[in-house]
Copies of this chain bind each other. A is one copy, B any other.
């Protein structure tokens, strides 16, 4: 396997998307898929599919295509999602609650094992997933005890940095940040930000600036 530093983030993102479509193909009974079909399903071009996979070796048979089950297994191994990862969510407001119960997390092997909030009326309550909301004061002990690997921040912007500092203190090395602000972390911690309204800003910029094709 090549050094990961050489592999574009966009390639990793697309591998994740290929994997989803391969799961759907398997579910629909397909055993083999061409790069053309996989590309079409993922809204990319076939050369991109071949280039992305090419970073990681030889896959598929020329003129035949990829084995749906084998390619899934290889991608899951590359992405390190061939095992379960333990998450903790901090901030059990409406968004945090929706995330905890979101089928898509568990379906993809991400297990929410702990939930934290600092609102006194929330601490100690059992949420539908069965978890009991804990105080942020318990974060460090719980994270270590339950071997949490990823922290998910679903708090308002104003408390996001404080939560990040708690997660760092508990030696969590990866954070998915849903709060609408950037958090400062040392190099040893990896962060991905999901800010809906940044995506909306990008979308409206395009709508405003890019001339529309007339509809057929």
Contact = CB atoms under 8 A, between A and B. Distances in A.
A142 interface: no
A198 interface: yes
A166 interface: no
A156 B24 CA distance: 14
A119 interface: no
Interface stretch (A28-36, A46-54, A64-72, A171-179): A171-179
A167 interface: no
A9 B202 contact: yes
A196 B104 contact: yes
Given A43-B182, A94-B101, A215-B171, A203 B196 contact: no
B202 A12 contact: yes
A62 interface: no
Contacts of A5: 210
A8 to B, nearest CB: 11
A20 to B, nearest CB: 7
B98 A204 contact: no
A110 interface: yes
A194 interface: yes
B206 A174 contact: yes
Contact of A108 (B184, B200, B214, B215): B200
Given A198-B13, A205-B78, A209-B80, A94 B98 contact: yes
A212 B192 contact: no
A108 B196 CA distance: 10
A188 B204 contact: no
A143 B204 CA distance: 17
19 contacts: A42-B182, A43-B184, A79-B205, A80-B204, A80-B205, A80-B209, A81-B204, A95-B99, A102-B196, A103-B156, A104-B180, A104-B195, A104-B196, A110-B197, A186-B213, A188-B213, A190-B207, A190-B210, A194-B196
